[in-house]
Structure 1
């Protein structure tokens, strides 16, 4: 059992909460039983180590067993060691050190089906919002999430926790400059739908047949004018009550579920 919260190993794991260290090592943290369970289940080849407290092992024996069946390194640690490793204020008994592996943008585009639904995040800075959008894209059956280079690092602990394991369920491509992102999608035949409160087309009226991408903007100021103008259509979610607006994650989920409904009706 690992008992020293000041050991070099513990410090190295904790350092993955810093973006510079994640970029240098290609590794990041999956904290909590949901994230660790999905990493072990869907991408064990990308899990380097699993750390678990005695209580975590007792609460989630199926995760520990699955990790061992997958021949992963499982280390028992004290609660104090797990606290020192994790970014979360209240760790839940499990953390995994994972290696980041994502498809190249061109390869991800080539793998899209003819009726693809894509979610694009531009200038999204809030980790909780980014993670929740990825989770919503997964739930709605989206085929790809693309995150621009001006957005939050999706490997940050807060984003990973907010995805609740969905990060392992669908392709997520990061670090793509916005112009290249839009050009690549259009070249693949994907219609670009800007989700913006300035849109003249209402969500219930937009044509969602064929391959299309929802292009989402910053939480505070929405889409840049140049990005909005580069899209094929600007769509807004109607507000029926007195709310000023919907937040990014709510609006993205509504748009993605509209696409899921249209795709289901067409199949």
Structure 2
């Protein structure tokens, strides 16, 4: 088969998924790179099509077994990828976010991201939530699209492992979580509770609330939380970045839950 070129109609249609409006309308997105494509193929009935360069199809033959990849030339593949050095594999995948109510009707640890704008941070939080054993993530308010190519890539496959939802109303989400028995803990540098002294809080059904990378949580959201939890700063650093703060908070919860036998 002759590889498709950048001007091919199927390639052009797939390329439109680089825009959020098109992803939302079509309920499709691009999974770029071997890790993302592998994760997508593990989710039943989600992959619509896989594009691969001939060299990538040969290199990743085991990964693509049964996937019936469409061969494209290097320029066509590069047009579907925003990576500096495309790895040669891109899949068109159906959206699979779940309803928020499904996220709240469970036990364990929930992650709420309010107005997270950086796609790399969003992907890293997903990866951290996956590693820490969180059962779900909700992208709330004006958060970045979890299907953004940079988010998908930064999650290193975790986008396909951790159930997640999208909710435009963070205030309503917090109240709904509390009504469903979740203890909402806001990660806040000025919080009244020290993370290292919060074990009694962490052994419950905790929903961690994280805010924007630059300005943190809006006061109205922090005030809705059951408690505001600060990570102690022992040195001269002014603060921690979002991904590091999330990792510390989620692993503190994971340790407490394991100690309780959950």
Q: Give TM-score, length-normalised by structure 2.
A: 0.95
Q: How does 1:252-267 map to 2 (within 5 A)?
A: 252-267=246-261
Match of 1:138 among 130, 134, 146: 130
Q: Secondary structure at the match of 2:69?
A: strand
Conservation of the 8 A alpha-carbon contact between 2:3 and 2:53: no
Look up the match of 1:6: 7
Conservation of the 8 A alpha-carbon contact between 1:125 and 1:219: yes
Q: Secondary structure at the match of 2:63?
A: helix
Q: How does 1:38-77 map to 2 (within 5 A)?
A: 38-41=39-42, 43-65=43-65, 68=66, 72-77=67-72
- Counterparts of 1:3 and 1:87 in 2: how far apart (Å)? 19
Look up the match of 2:235: 241
- Counterparts of 1:122 and 1:137 in 2: how far apart (Å)? 15
Conservation of the 8 A alpha-carbon contact between 1:32 and 1:94: yes
Look up the match of 2:184: 192
- Counterparts of 1:144 and 1:194 in 2: how far apart (Å)? 16
- Alignment length (residue pairs): 258
Q: Displacement, 1:243?
A: 1.5
Match of 1:203 among 172, 182, 195: 195
Q: How does 1:206-221 map to 2 (within 5 A)?
A: 206=198, 207-221=201-215
Show structure 2 runs of 5+ residues with no match: none
Match of 2:104 among 95, 105, 109: 109
Look up the match of 2:169: 177
Q: Displacement, 1:24?
A: 1.1
Look up the match of 2:27: 26
Q: Displacement, 1:45?
A: 1.1
- Counterparts of 1:8 and 1:76 in 2: how far apart (Å)? 14
Conservation of the 8 A alpha-carbon contact between 1:48 and 1:98: yes
Show structure 1 runs of 5+ residues with no match: none
Structure 1's consecutive aligned runs of 4 or more residues displaced over 3 angstroms after TM superposition are none
Q: CA RMSD in A?
A: 1.2
Look up the match of 1:118: 110
- Counterparts of 2:70 and 2:173 in 1: how far apart (Å)? 40
Q: Secondary structure at the match of 1:102?
A: coil
Q: Secondary structure at the match of 1:210?
A: coil
Q: Displacement, 1:239?
A: 1.4
- Counterparts of 2:225 and 2:39 in 1: how far apart (Å)? 34
Per-residue deviation, residues 68-113 of structure 1 (Å, max 9, x unmatched)? 1xxx442122212101222222210111100002221112222x12
Q: Give TM-score, length-normalised by structure 1.
A: 0.93
Conservation of the 8 A alpha-carbon contact between 1:48 and 1:73: no
Look up the match of 2:222: 228
